[in-house]
Structure 1
Amino acid sequence: MLKKPDHSLDPLLKPRSIAMIGASRRRNSVGNDMIRNLVPSGFSGKVYPINPSYEKLYGWPCYKSIGDLPETVDMAVLSVPNRVLEAVTKEAIAAGARSLVIFASAEEEDELDDRLRDRIAKLARDAGVPVCGANCMGFFNPIHGLRAFTAFHPEPIATGGLTYIAQSGSLLQALLFNDERLRFNLAVSTGQELVTTAADYLDYALEQPETKCVALVLEAIRDPEGFVAALKKANERNIPVVVLKLGRTEAGASFALSHTGAIAGDAEVYEALFRRFGVISVRDLNELAATSLLLCCDKPLAPGGISAVLDSGGERELIVDVASDEGVPFADISEATKKVLEANLDTGLTPENPVDAWGTGRDFEAVFENCLLALMADDDTALGMFVADLSEELDLHAGYVEVCQSVARATDKPLIVMTNYSAWSHRKHAVRLSRSGIVVLDGTVSSLRAIRNAMTYRDFVAQKDMVEEDHPENSRAEYWRSVLRGRQDALTEDEGYSLLRDYGIQVPEFAIVTSADDVAAAACKVGFPLVAKTAEPGILHKSDVGGVILNIANAGEAVEAYRTLSTNLGPRVLLSGMASGDAEMALGLVQDEQFGSFVMIAFGGVWIEILKDSQLSMVPVNADVASRRIADLKMAKVLEGVRGADPCDVPALIETYVRFGHLVADLGEHLSEIDINPVLVSPSGVVAVDSLIIPADAASSSEDMNHAH
């Protein structure tokens, strides 16, 4: 009886037998590269080349078809053109192949609705067969001694703890074939992901005992539910995930009725998703590689900041400047550490972190080693750095390598050797250091970003704020679901106020009036000064149509305001208390088709679409997340008080953002858009002044709504 696989992708990524359909001896063909890649890989399973033109290939007997094999195989690698791809896929599945790798594009000319890729996907899904591809380069599994890959690469691939999953084959090769410091346990070019997606590969990687870090290059996430489930598993296992997201274009939102849609795009949604699950988002391939190198280090970051030793005052200034730009803190070293530094440094050198330790050069190995050891032992040092632009031509730098190796043996904290210039003239040094457990990073910016990323992940794990899946449902949630369900128009202003108030969000006192006779009494009850707004259904942005009158000081002015509004726009008018604040904020809802509801906080008012100073969070939101998102706003210092003004009530703003997140978590499936703007923040609290709330079922009527205002 066959042993049940430990993971559904085992037949694909860890097969015991392989059929290589289309294997060839013709040089520079995919069929030839495929089989030649397998020769040096060390694969210990059965290999069956399939091509009717050959009796043998590279020492293996060659078969005419997969149906002629003496056994069913775990994996069939299909190196055939599109014109026969469907037929060969059917043959492989009929012969019992448990997985497929498809290099061809699975695209035909003049395709309409009945596409080749869809037919291939259906065949594989119906058979329960995982597929790498189509239009992929295949994969390397060095742990299993396996290469199912198109581009021939004769050199061995060093094994390690990095899983690399890329939807771009070229970006996969860039790291896989060019940097000996990176050591892989799996590298996959996923291609079109007809059946098996990046989420599936991520889940597989997280089950492998060798995996220390997973790096992904993503153009799209084709299985959102599976991707989120895998991220949760990564959180549970404390395995960092690093993502280079391609195609970060802002979603235009030309049909959005709220300001929120105009300033929150696809990139912000992905960033909010990544933050929620501690995913490290990087900007380019250098940062991806550097961050992955650091996170694969066996020694975890301690609390605190960087401590660094350099051999140059100029490089000291450079690293301080760039670290400030990138938000990377230096360790606040103790007086005891400074005394050790002072005892070792030449006259004129200051015992401050980062340390320029090059003086006369006398006994430099001992000076650098003693200073670096003292820094590494400091309680506020998270990791140590030796900064020098290494060259293999200089014996001095060979001494630096030995110093670092000696220090690394004596500490349980990560040690980094960083060069400011990324062009390699120190490959041998880098390999020696890497094999000693020392992380070698090149380029000031990408190196410091990698350190910041590692610190962010360290702090995420320590805070354990990755989960707020549940929150107590509001006692009025079901009532509001009944209001929103099937609703074809936006909530009126008073309904919006009532909804916000039910969720603990402060709103002004208010009253609805429908005739001039009721205005004076209602105005006196609300209190002066007040504002009058049209409350006619369908008028969304009231100020655009002259639907708001401010600073009403008495009953007579209130009656006059009512007459103006009712004559121009209709008899239903809302009277509300005038609110004031030192900062105008906004709260909004972003609904993403893949990942659900997100809530935005921004500096708002009339300038919201100009400032575009916003932060996005996946719902629900807890106080720690709310606090960080508010602190990350570019204008956050305004909340601290400007030109002698008292600081705003930031705790109340945090609580308001949390409660808004709970509202959206409860009601999100029934909501299309929410725009609460302005939200006025003062030293004495927070009040939401205006709201636009559009039910999900009203979204189809959005064109009519746009005409209404």
Structure 2
Amino acid sequence: MKVEFLSSKTDRTTSPSAMFDLSRLLAPRSVALVGASPRKGSMGHNILEILLSSGYGGKVFPVNPKYQEIEALKCYGSLEEIEDPVDLVAVAVASQNVQPVFESIYRTGAGSALLFDRIDDRQGGDLQRLRSQAIEHALPILGGNCMGYHNFLAKTSVTFNSSRPRQLGGIAAIAHSGSVFTQFGASDPRFRFNLLVSTGQEIAGSVGDYMDYALNLPSTRALVLFIESVRDPEAFRNALEKARARRIPVVVSRVGRTNESAALAASHTGAIAGSNAGYEAVFEHYGVLEVDTPDDLLTSGMLLAQCDQFRPGSLAAVADSGGLRELLIDMADQLKVPFAKLTQPAISTLKGVLPAGLPATNPLDAGGPNNETYVTVFRRALEVLVQEADAAICMFEFDATDFLSFYPELSEIAKDTKRTSPIPFFVLNSLASALNEKIAEDLTDAGVVVINGMRSALVAVRNFGRYRDYLLRENSPRQGADTQDSKITELVAKWRSRLISSAVLSEFESLELLDDFGIATVRSELASNVSDAVSAADRLGYPIALKTAEKGIHHKTDVGGVKLGIVSQAELEQSYHDLRNRLGPDVILQPMTKGRLELAFGMVRDSTFGPLVMLSAGGENIELLNDRTFALPTVDHSSVVRMFDRLAIRRRFDAHRGKPAIDVGAVARIFWNFCTLCRELGDLLDEVDINPIIVDASGCRAVDALVVSNIK
């Protein structure tokens, strides 16, 4: 039996995205502007002026009962007076006047709406009423509290903040923040968009819906998102799946990544997951590239939008400065961006080209004496580096601004290199604030990406490498694909019945569940009196660990419910009496277990994306160290191995000081068994906490476990 579950608890009856066709919203044949005004500087006039100046070729209907005509266009007293069908109604009135406008929208059958003002839901339920009505009428609404959009492909801008003139490009940008939308629209023209949307409150239509629309545009080459949250997880994941299938990179800058908003949880796993765990897992699964700043967001999107070749290898770089070359090496080390290794023939060729004193290395300083050969050295060096087998992308760093360029020929060399390079190629000006807009536009017209700022350039290169690696993995055969045999079917049926009947499994039951799913556990015995405890200890062998098994105690150490290293019957009897008197008679006994290191496995139900699995350093380190990683339960075995590689504790698996290496692949298979458990039973589980798991060269064994059902 294969258990299927939604990616979150989202109720699709309240999520209208599946009903929406956004074409009438984002590429309308007609636009009605409610609140149009002839007054210069007013919102109603700015929106109308920007729409008319954007090259829009459809019909425009100003709506305001105060005027007969605005900007030489007939002005209507209401939507009902417009004789033609209206695809989009832009609502530029104060929030207290919005409801009558939407009643008119529904009466007239308009196709979509754009609401600029914020709808405050603290009083009167206006937001929920608008959302419910939109669902009922299948009406997509952009906003409220948004700044509209620029559809450069459709030559349609419905906003009160104009964009700088720019050529049509392949970057589709979606932002929750209106200020980020404005900054993107006012940014350097080297950033070339096909779509720029400010989504605001997402009354009826989520980020996932706008992503889907953008991904359906043939011109979209990269998707960049500035988001605060995901209100419709299913639509979001569906869009990411489409981006993966179409090999369109998705770059995200997400705010609100701290753990302050994490809800209280029964297990350590839930407590440390925080608000970022679900995004971490989903982004890893779909190859989403997360960045910290809007600058990195645009720069990475711009570079990736121009990359159509992804092959193994690293960065090749040519610079016109020894000092900046050294800074590049230092910064690349900090950001973990490797440089391509040069072959001996390439080194020999470069030695014959470079002036005396310049070493034939990568990155390469090619800036020699200011003579007639200065420019030709750069040309020849680039020709050599882009052909190197270990070079996957090439950077050309030179200092040129719109006010001063010592060697304008370098721009021509960049264009020639782009035309002949078998790998992606870009130009860097190391100064982030460099004034080189004209040079950048000229090079961009020739297909050459120009990045200002060394750090942003290296972040973009790192993202290029990560996306390349993701594509290579996606094209490789998956290991550990879903299989279903009769034994698993029986186990799933057995434990579904147990979980439905019990909100929290006892530790003994939890360890039994793990054993059934192929996760080895330490031998355990239960006792409810001192005589049984002594007999159990004799069978297990000293030293013994004695723990309370009383129901409702989730964190035993917090209440003094764990006694370790008991070496005699007398000590056992004394420890038992202490636990019985303070906590109750039920106990669990286990032999003391030592290993090389401790891990923890966990599962939590993320409020946005549903069940997640966690791999972490174990024991006390689960709380002391931020050494953990999350994934979706559908993760395959090769992805599980990469989860181990992301842990700082991973180095302790290697042989050192006479200790043999621990087989990471074998331990990864145990964690993959745990993922299978969570995948098959995840719809019935709120949390699972297995900590510690003792690991050494002989294998791993779970010592303690907590399983919490979501059946109330």
Normalising by the smaller structure, the TM-score range is over 0.9
* Partners of 1:692 and 1:252 in 2: CA distance: 23
Structure 2 SS opposite 1:551: strand
* Partners of 1:246 and 1:161 in 2: CA distance: 25
* Partners of 2:631 and 2:367 in 1: CA distance: 47
User: Deviations along 1:232-258, whole A, 9 cap, x unmatched?
Assistant: 111111111111111222145563232
The offset of 1:223, in angstroms, is: 0.7
**Aligned with 1:472 (options 472, 476, 484):** 484
1:252 and 1:262 in contact (8 A); partners too: no
**Aligned with 1:536 (options 544, 550, 555):** 550
**Aligned with 1:443 (options 437, 444, 453):** 453
2:375 and 2:407 in contact (8 A); partners too: no
Q: How does 1:140-151 map to 2 (within 5 A)?
A: 140-151=150-161
> Match of 1:421?
431
**Aligned with 2:675 (options 640, 651, 661):** 661
> Match of 1:670?
684
> Match of 1:394?
404
The offset of 1:106, in angstroms, is: 2.7
The offset of 1:261, in angstroms, is: 2.5
User: Deviations along 1:639-666, whole A, 9 cap, x unmatched?
Assistant: 2245443333322321222122111112
* Partners of 2:126 and 2:336 in 1: CA distance: 49
* Partners of 1:227 and 1:481 in 2: CA distance: 30
Q: How does 1:343-492 map to 2 (within 5 A)?
A: 343-362=352-371, 363-464=373-474, 470=482, 472=484, 474-475=488-489, 476-488=491-503, 490-492=504-506
Change (3 A) 1:517 1:267: closer
One-letter identity of the residue aligned with 1:121: R
Q: How does 1:601-612 map to 2 (within 5 A)?
A: 601-612=615-626
1:262 and 1:609 in contact (8 A); partners too: no
1:392 and 1:398 in contact (8 A); partners too: no
Q: Does 1:591 align with 2:591?
A: no
1:365 and 1:400 in contact (8 A); partners too: yes
One-letter identity of the residue aligned with 1:487: S
> Match of 2:132?
122
* Partners of 2:651 and 2:236 in 1: CA distance: 36
More off after superposition, 54-63 vs 43-52:
54-63
Q: Does 1:637 align with 2:647?
A: no
More off after superposition, 559-568 vs 38-47:
559-568
Q: How does 1:86-125 map to 2 (within 5 A)?
A: 86-107=99-120, 111-112=122-123, 114-125=124-135
* Partners of 2:199 and 2:298 in 1: CA distance: 19
Q: How does 1:503-522 map to 2 (within 5 A)?
A: 503-519=517-533, 521-522=535-536
One-letter identity of the residue aligned with 2:195: L
The offset of 1:369, in angstroms, is: 0.8
More off after superposition, 131-140 vs 621-630:
621-630
Q: Does 1:226 align with 2:235?
A: yes
> Match of 1:703?
none
Q: How does 1:72-87 map to 2 (within 5 A)?
A: 72-87=85-100
> Match of 2:309?
300
The offset of 1:597, in angstroms, is: 0.9
Percent identical pairs in the alignment equals 36
Please, what TM-score do these two structures have when normalized by structure 2?
0.92
**Aligned with 2:180 (options 171, 177, 182):** 171
The offset of 1:395, in angstroms, is: 3.6
Structure 2 SS opposite 1:242: strand
* Partners of 1:254 and 1:82 in 2: CA distance: 33
User: Deviations along 1:500-545, whole A, 9 cap, x unmatched?
Assistant: 1111111112222334444455334434443232222223222333
Structure 2 SS opposite 1:635: helix
The offset of 1:568, in angstroms, is: 4.6
* Partners of 1:197 and 1:540 in 2: CA distance: 39
Query: Structure 2, unaligned stretches of length 5 or more?
Result: 1-18
> Match of 1:278?
287
Change (3 A) 1:53 1:546: closer
User: Deviations along 1:6-55, whole A, 9 cap, x unmatched?
Assistant: 98111111111111222211011111011100122111112222223333
The offset of 1:447, in angstroms, is: 1.3
Change (3 A) 1:560 1:63: closer
Q: How does 1:192-341 map to 2 (within 5 A)?
A: 192-251=201-260, 253=262, 255-341=264-350
More off after superposition, 531-540 vs 512-521:
512-521
One-letter identity of the residue aligned with 1:74: D
One-letter identity of the residue aligned with 1:419: N
2:629 and 2:646 in contact (8 A); partners too: yes
The offset of 1:563, in angstroms, is: 5.0
The offset of 1:321, in angstroms, is: 1.0
The offset of 1:695, in angstroms, is: 2.0
> Match of 1:11?
24
1:652 and 1:686 in contact (8 A); partners too: no
The offset of 1:294, in angstroms, is: 0.6
User: Deviations along 1:429-466, whole A, 9 cap, x unmatched?
Assistant: 11111111111111121211111111111111110189
Change (3 A) 1:152 1:387: closer
User: Deviations along 1:582-623, whole A, 9 cap, x unmatched?
Assistant: 112212222112211111111121232121211111212322
Root-mean-square deviation (CA, aligned residues, Å) is 2.3
> Match of 1:684?
698
2:20 and 2:138 in contact (8 A); partners too: no
One-letter identity of the residue aligned with 1:536: E
Q: Does 1:628 align with 2:642?
A: yes
Structure 2 SS opposite 1:160: coil
Change (3 A) 1:57 1:612: same
One-letter identity of the residue aligned with 2:115: I
One-letter identity of the residue aligned with 2:253: L
**Aligned with 1:580 (options 577, 594, 605):** 594
Structure 1 SS opposite 2:484: coil
* Partners of 2:243 and 2:658 in 1: CA distance: 47
User: Deviations along 1:258-299, whole A, 9 cap, x unmatched?
Assistant: 222232211232122211111111111011011000111053
2:278 and 2:608 in contact (8 A); partners too: no
Query: Structure 1, unaligned stretches of length 5 or more?
Result: 1-5, 699-709
Change (3 A) 1:449 1:262: same
2:165 and 2:189 in contact (8 A); partners too: no
